[in-house]
Structure 1
């Protein structure tokens, strides 16, 4: 028996499962036997008392969970951080525990009433006293960790819990003597598991399987080389023995019904103190502002969900709700993250949603020089599709040539400061690049609510995949937008794959080009080859497009087509010679519609017009879509993704494919002015042309 360790317990005189505040309580209301619970508790009490001293706190009637003294608070030396329970069902325990601590000579620190922290259930000291492991995610807020570090003068390592069954840290995590750790890795997010692995050597990590985890094997009491726990597997007992520990099992099934076991029923009031360990915590906090139709557009909910999903925590400090139909709302939110890296990931996503720093906390963007051409500094800010501004020398500078997956290159000259989105390969050593996430904001329009009235104009479809809506209705809206863009002198770019030809869509896309609805065409070698093959030989990949049957020797047609165009030197010269007299490529040549055919390793030939230099093809794509009002993406995943990545927000996008996965991938890109249509692309183009023929031209008079 050791006198160096003291344990606080509370008899189960009033214990019962009276409510549900965790998954274990579900279905167990009043199903726990008080007599059996008392018997199991006393067995645990006696086992512990054989090895160390036990103090008792008087149970209070009406608070059945007071038996779980781990949640009374967190003790180090003679200092206590009192618990602030999340659920009202347990908040009444706080004054009883506070009174006991004060009566026994402890200095008590109390967190704000709206900052949950559930004591040693969510905070466990390394058994060597080197640091404190602190959990958050279900019962404890991350913002409590800096205060705990300050009051106890200790280093705090924050771990995020992600499995609701393991709602407290002590249900899935048990530090053991000698630097060993008994834990259940799936209960934590990836960041937390990496943190655990950095601090605890592999040979000292005892990771358990789910069968032991759900028996609360980690909810154990460690007294020197003794581990007191609920029933566990023989395999786990052997692993503990191999590490020098003796497992003592004592059944606690009645308490599992409330979501607790040995550790939950105890609080260690003597923890090792190291003189060279002092307050340290990596938690970062920033306060952001968001403005717009935050509730009805779901922006605020998305932001708050994002913070939690990325491993952070939040508190809404202020929220001003717009009082009129057209009014905007404003929210001020404090965001916390366990370290700088997680905070930057969170802020990157929040910036995309329009979040900005409070004016009083605005900082200039962090800039670092490009040390080698084509190489950005570490931690460079990766651009998005949304119009962006960066703060330099106290002034907000608009970023030009906005696109996603680039870097922000800054030049300072006598004529002023400029900022541009640039691909990594285009960075030069006379530029600086924005790093981190300070001094960056996206410029979002505050959308007005539009009347959905057919006598006025359509508003473009919200982002999403139209797999269940009537295709005819979607086509009707797209046709209206196409007519509107054409009649206003706008620009539509089309990126298309060979499926357009195979499904009979060639004549319809050619018609769109001829009638002035298309101002740029982007694709690969294949769409041009198959379009020209159909125009010259009536087949596509050797299949007769009218009868739908293979033609004898037709498998050679695409090569003969390529050879013919190569003989004349280009598609345009083939048209001029009268050899090519219909089809998509013919209409592009005759109507001066520029096109780019980006080659790949799969291409036969290729056609002389196909650009086999990938970088040149990318640049040509970017030039062709510049200034586009709409982009039609027709059954070509790779080309569509490439175009999507270089297209800024505000461009209306339509992705059509029979494969829902392709459509979803493009729709997930994030543009609020895009729509996916899951259908046969040939059918889509046929319906689109028919719908255009039925439309009047409401803007013709203004042209």
Structure 2
């Protein structure tokens, strides 16, 4: 667009001051902003914009000091404007003044319900190509406002959840640029939002800023064609923007940073082009769930609402009937809104664990799908918990028999009536009807179990990794031995437990296999399941391996992975079919490294490669151990002890475990070739890979010659 066709709305800072605290930036800055300096800085931005566009002014009003931040006046697209509904009462006084201005300019003004917060272009930013609208939620704007935006502006809305209260508005950490580029700060968003951003914006056009730039509000920028106007940017960011074809214009706005705003906050673009071929679309989904019981004294209602928000959704309590006496139960109906179907499924599955259920009159039947391959459930099958469960069939609640965790629910229509039972994946038969999704399912718990329910999320693993002493010296010795064995065509066998994955060692063990340092791998069902879980889903036992935090509903991931591999046939089949594309067992298949998985009574699934006949597993272990020069035992007490007991003297063994008792037990075998390393296995493998890379570096090889 030409400069004469681009218009911005600004408001002079005649009455600007930090009068209250409604964001972290205002803390400690009450009445500490210089009005003269603020006016000077605002004038600087105003002049820069006037050289590149047309700037309209709205009259500043007393009593609303933040009116200077016109980005929050509303959201404009074509001749339509969605007026802001401010979250904080301190800013609600601005609404009539902005409404009057828009009406005087001839805009069609759309107003949200009074109790539905939405803060304009501070939380809604158009893709500069006009293809869709990015809409933020989490602090100032509610997710429930997004369907209104899609309807009124006839545009696709992509919802992004803000996670860092320093970046309380979308425009504080996110700036679409001309040509489809994006300037943004990824840590300000949750993982779902970051995936959505990555799906829509190619990597070559994503310009992620550092925290140093983010806290200077570099993303709170005004983009006019190929010019980016901002408060301040590091040299690195300026170089990256220049490389993308943008001119960076810095103008100090430090007085406004004290209130949590900068260049973008001080402007509202009022000439946004409308693309005729773009139409309304929103992936947002809403459902109403009902809860009954001792909701207040057991803390269930608080847990439920927290689950919704922490899971990436929003809620509206439609009604709440409080029990009149101590023994009386309460009931509530809550409208849950989520940015996508997948997020909704995750949230509601967590609410089911708390006893929530969809309105009975809305769900008459669960969703059933037929088993087409023995031992393999349909996609999206419901994974059971330990709690007594009932399912909705033909408008009646049916109690599920044989209740257990990590199973599927099979429904039978028998001559004597409808039955439902838990069945393990391996026991599923072709033709059986399995419940999929989360509709028409509820868990039943006694009052006392609710009152004593642990408020922590159901998960397998929550502890961190212990810090360890230096192990570089022993790693150097072992690395040298591994290199010698590989170069002479020897054999190294690795026995590994799932702790390898949990501590972040999976990628390092995979590299050892890829580089030819491992000739056989022994383990149990768990290491394979969690290696594949990490490869396919980025989690291990439901813990996000990059962020180190439990993922809502992540405790079901391992069952989903097992089901996928069972559908493929074997781990090798999954690799050949392109389903499994990285990880320890991917490298084993690709490099023809044999592996053996010994099953146990605790295994879920199991994977089709897991040998559940213990005698056959022992024989397979013994076969792979034959001819070994060195056995590397990595944090698997039972498998390591078993391997140690079937390994002949003369084979060197290295036992790595955080538990000194395991190392001692292996050393007690009496083999002089045994080495015990008490340390974190992830740290050990990381140091091992680093040391082996040093041994193969050109400099090191030159020193050896």
Task: Report the CA distance shift for 1:338/1:598 in structure 2 as closer, same or farther (over 3 A).
Answer: closer
Determine if contact 1:161/1:169 at 8 Å carries over to the other structure: yes
Give the Å deviation of 1:360: 3.1
Q: Helix, strand or coil: the match of 2:56?
A: strand
Task: Report the CA distance shift for 1:71/1:359 in structure 2 as closer, same or farther (over 3 A).
Answer: same
Superposition pairs for residues 398-413 of structure 1, below 5 Å? 398-413=399-414
Q: Distance in 1 between matches of 2:31 and 2:242?
A: 38
Task: Report the CA distance shift for 1:370/1:118 in structure 2 as closer, same or farther (over 3 A).
Answer: same
User: Which residue does 1:626 correspond to in 2?
Assistant: none
| Per-residue deviation, residues 130-156 of structure 1 (Å, max 9, x unmatched) | 000000000000000001100001100
Q: Distance in 1 between matches of 2:248 and 2:98?
A: 30
User: Which residue does 1:305 correspond to in 2?
Assistant: 306
| Per-residue deviation, residues 509-565 of structure 1 (Å, max 9, x unmatched) | xxxxxxxxxxxxxxxxxxxxxxxxxxxxxxxxxxxxxxxxxxxxxxxxxxxxxxxxx
User: Which residue does 1:205 correspond to in 2?
Assistant: 206
Q: Distance in 2 between matches of 1:11 and 1:357?
A: 51
Superposition pairs for residues 143-182 of structure 1, below 5 Å? 143-182=144-183
Task: Report the CA distance shift for 1:48/1:414 in structure 2 as closer, same or farther (over 3 A).
Answer: same
Task: Report the CA distance shift for 1:53/1:464 in structure 2 as closer, same or farther (over 3 A).
Answer: closer
Determine if contact 1:127/1:272 at 8 Å carries over to the other structure: no
User: Which residue does 2:523 correspond to in 1?
Assistant: none
User: Which residue does 2:437 correspond to in 1?
Assistant: 436
User: Which residue does 2:524 correspond to in 1?
Assistant: none
User: Which residue does 1:572 correspond to in 2?
Assistant: none
Q: Distance in 1 between matches of 2:434 and 2:169?
A: 43
| Per-residue deviation, residues 584-623 of structure 1 (Å, max 9, x unmatched) | xxxxxxxxxxxxx96899xxxxxxxx983799xxxxxxxx
TM-score using structure 1 length: 0.65
User: Which residue does 2:564 correspond to in 1?
Assistant: none
User: Which residue does 1:279 correspond to in 2?
Assistant: 280
Q: Helix, strand or coil: the match of 2:81?
A: strand
Determine if contact 1:599/1:614 at 8 Å carries over to the other structure: no
Q: Helix, strand or coil: the match of 1:138?
A: coil
Determine if contact 1:326/1:449 at 8 Å carries over to the other structure: no
Is residue 643 of structure 2 the alignment partner of residue 612 of structure 1? no
Task: Report the CA distance shift for 1:144/1:613 in structure 2 as closer, same or farther (over 3 A).
Answer: farther
Q: Distance in 2 between matches of 1:638 and 1:393?
A: 48
Q: Distance in 1 between matches of 2:137 and 2:281?
A: 17
Decide which structure has the larger Cα Rg and report it: 1
Is residue 56 of structure 2 the alignment partner of residue 50 of structure 1? no
Q: Distance in 2 between matches of 1:164 and 1:599?
A: 46
Determine if contact 1:311/1:337 at 8 Å carries over to the other structure: yes
Q: Helix, strand or coil: the match of 2:325?
A: coil
Give the Å deviation of 1:317: 1.2
Superposition pairs for residues 547-586 of structure 1, below 5 Å? none
Q: Distance in 1 between matches of 2:76 and 2:149?
A: 10
| Per-residue deviation, residues 216-249 of structure 1 (Å, max 9, x unmatched) | 0000000000000011101101100100100000
Task: Report the CA distance shift for 1:392/1:240 in structure 2 as closer, same or farther (over 3 A).
Answer: same
Is residue 351 of structure 2 the alignment partner of residue 350 of structure 1? yes
User: Which residue does 1:390 correspond to in 2?
Assistant: 391
Q: Distance in 1 between matches of 2:147 and 2:397?
A: 33
Superposition pairs for residues 686-697 of structure 1, below 5 Å? none
Q: Distance in 2 between matches of 1:317 and 1:37?
A: 45
Q: Helix, strand or coil: the match of 1:360?
A: coil
User: Which residue does 2:680 correspond to in 1?
Assistant: none
Give the Å deviation of 1:638: 10
Determine if contact 1:375/1:425 at 8 Å carries over to the other structure: yes
Determine if contact 1:115/1:144 at 8 Å carries over to the other structure: yes
Q: Can you give the 5+ residue segments of structure 2 that lack an aligned partner in the other structure?
A: 457-598, 604-611, 618-635, 640-658, 660-705
Superposition pairs for residues 333-344 of structure 1, below 5 Å? 333-344=334-345
Superposition pairs for residues 10-29 of structure 1, below 5 Å? 10-29=11-30
Superposition pairs for residues 184-199 of structure 1, below 5 Å? 184-199=185-200
TM-score using structure 2 length: 0.65
Determine if contact 2:298/2:450 at 8 Å carries over to the other structure: no
Determine if contact 1:600/1:612 at 8 Å carries over to the other structure: no
Task: Report the CA distance shift for 1:352/1:180 in structure 2 as closer, same or farther (over 3 A).
Answer: same
Q: Helix, strand or coil: the match of 1:359?
A: coil
User: Which residue does 1:244 correspond to in 2?
Assistant: 245
Q: Distance in 2 between matches of 1:284 and 1:341?
A: 10
